[in-house]
Amino acid sequence: MSGYPPNPRSTVNRYRGRAAYDYQTIHTLVNSCPILHVSFNPSLPEDDPFPTILPMIGAMGSFPPPPSQSAPPSPTPGPLDLYLHGYVSSRLMRLPPTANPTSSSAEEAAEEAEPKKGLPLCISATHLDGLILALTPHHHSLNYRSAILHGRATLLTSPAEKLYAMELITDNLIPPRWANTRVPPTAVEMQSTSILRVEIVSASAKVREGGPGEDRRDERDEGVRGRVWTGVVPVWSVLGEPVPVPGEGNRVGGVPGHVKALVEGWNGEGERRAREAVEGGKKR
């Protein structure tokens, strides 16, 4: 199988033609998103019915990695785990590692007799590529790429896997920053950092490209078409010129090549993707 199997939880129902379940699309969306939003239930529903959502950093990978693979991994044809980085005393890192959901029937209760290992999480990654301006507010939209993942999280206890995940997350955001810093982490740094490994059980992506979709009635109305501008405003994030720490804080002359490459690659890829989305087809 080349992707995550659809199930009722992850199947896209509206505009199914925009859906994707393949590993490469989902892994690329997650690993290129600097901020992931992680949702979980902080307590039993009878204690607090409201879920919590946190912005976090993370990356998808597999431990142990193939010998020829450097962090972060390229999109793979197989499933990957999601690693999430956090402080040791943060609420998510201190939640029980095993969930015991309440069952609504005797049959469901029997199925849950042995609790599944890991805390249930829902993770989202979203990229905004354009603002869609149509003839009517009803057909205004956005060009976007998004992924939703469901999985069960466990706290890493293996020092080797924890070190792998810390390097993976660092280099996924700023490659190859790990090797260009003071490493390895100290014992205090390792103790104050927690890493969750999320085993993905279902996932889906949804991508919208192109320009506005209009009603035929509006398209035939020359009065409306003559006074309402329609089109796409491409959107992408831009990294600014690197600013060194003032005073004696930074003693390295000039911006390192990997930092320059990060800025150039980030900005170029963002603009390319946003402009290509405009030509992606006429979709509402």
From the list 36, 3, 62, the residue with the least C-alpha distance to 122 is 36
pLDDT given at position 163:
97
Query: Does 112 have pLDDT greater than 70?
Result: no
- How many residues make up the chain in this entry? 284
Cis status of the peptide bond prior to 8, with omega within 30 of 0: no
pLDDT given at position 103:
43
Query: Does 107 have pLDDT greater than 80?
Result: no
Query: Does 47 have pLDDT greater than 90?
Result: no
Q: Calculate mean pLDDT across residues 256-266.
A: 98
**Token pair belonging to 216:** 């035929």
Q: Calculate mean pLDDT across residues 18-31.
A: 94
CA dist 147 and 265 (Å) reads: 22
CB atoms within 10 A of CB 42: 13
Query: What letter represents residue 38's amino acid?
Result: V
pLDDT in tens, 205-232: 999 999 999 999 999 999 999 999 999 9
- When mean pLDDT is compared over 7-11, 98-102, 208-212, the highest value belongs to 208-212
CA dist 268 and 276 (Å) reads: 12
**Range of lowest pLDDT (115-119, 174-178, 191-195, 199-203):** 115-119
pLDDT given at position 68:
61
pLDDT given at position 114:
41
pLDDT given at position 113:
42
CA dist 37 and 146 (Å) reads: 12
